Structure 1
Amino acid sequence: MIALLAPSRAIVDAVYAKALSNGATCDGPPGLRPHYHPDYYGAYFFDRDGNKLCICFHDACPSSSISR
């Protein structure tokens, strides 16, 4: 599996939607995954070649401009 870090939850949602519209299959829609950590927001899909991908965002406040 390849995981890609997104800059926001909105990007996770957009990448997931675009992947599915281009023939990917869902392996977990966008959402919080608190079993990884409380702020993990991700989506999973298989591309048309069968590769599993994840797009995720890790910040607690998606609209925050606080520097880390």
Structure 2
Amino acid sequence: MIGYVTLGSDDLARAGAFYDALLAELGAARAMESERLIVWATAAGAPMFGVFTPYDGQPASVGNGSMVALAAGSRERVDTLYAKALALGATDDGAPGERMQGFYGGYFRDLDGHKLNFFHLG
């Protein structure tokens, strides 16, 4: 159902380097880029993730209540990916753990302050 998700950034080079390193852990690579955007995907036709400079020319901002959840595949991968995000400069927004029965997630804020998590169901 999801085709792609985008987040705003005022520093595309910095955001690109962060997500290059982090999303490579999920097997994603740059699929599209221009002076305004970078988009990653794991395969042709798969959902994509991107960072953009805002089209309206205004500063990028963090959406209150917005979050991007990325499937990690296992609890161990949640732990590994969460640690990698923090090592790359992200900030903790909820250490990995079981939030409800069968849902394990680790929450962080990227370099622009956007909230994301890595999760595993089961």
Sort the TM-score into its range (normalised by shorter chain): 0.7 to 0.9
1:54 is aligned to 117
Q: Secondary structure at the match of 2:96?
A: strand
1:25 is aligned to 91
CA distance in 1, matches of 2:87, 2:117: 16
Percent of aligned positions that are identical: 54
Gaps of 5+ in 1: 60-68
Structure 1 runs (4+) deviating above 3 angstroms are none
Q: Does 1:7 align with 2:68?
A: no
Q: How many residue pairs were aligned?
A: 56
TM-fit CA distance, 1:6: 1.2
Higher relative contact order (CA 8 A, sep 6+): 1
- TM-superposition CA deviations, 1:3-44 (whole Å, max 9, x none): 01111001100010000001000000000001xxx1100000
Q: Secondary structure at the match of 1:50?
A: coil
Q: CA RMSD in A?
A: 0.6
CA distance in 1, matches of 2:117, 2:84: 13
After TM superposition, list the pairs within 5 Å mapping 1:28-43 onto structure 2: 28-34=94-100, 38-43=101-106
CA distance in 2, matches of 1:2, 1:32: 18
2:108 to 20, 45, 50: 45
Q: Secondary structure at the match of 1:28?
A: coil
Task: Give, as a single letter, the amino acid of the residue that structure 2 aligns with 1:25.
Answer: T
Gaps of 5+ in 2: 1-66
Q: What TM-score, normalized to structure 2?
A: 0.45
CA distance in 1, matches of 2:85, 2:110: 7
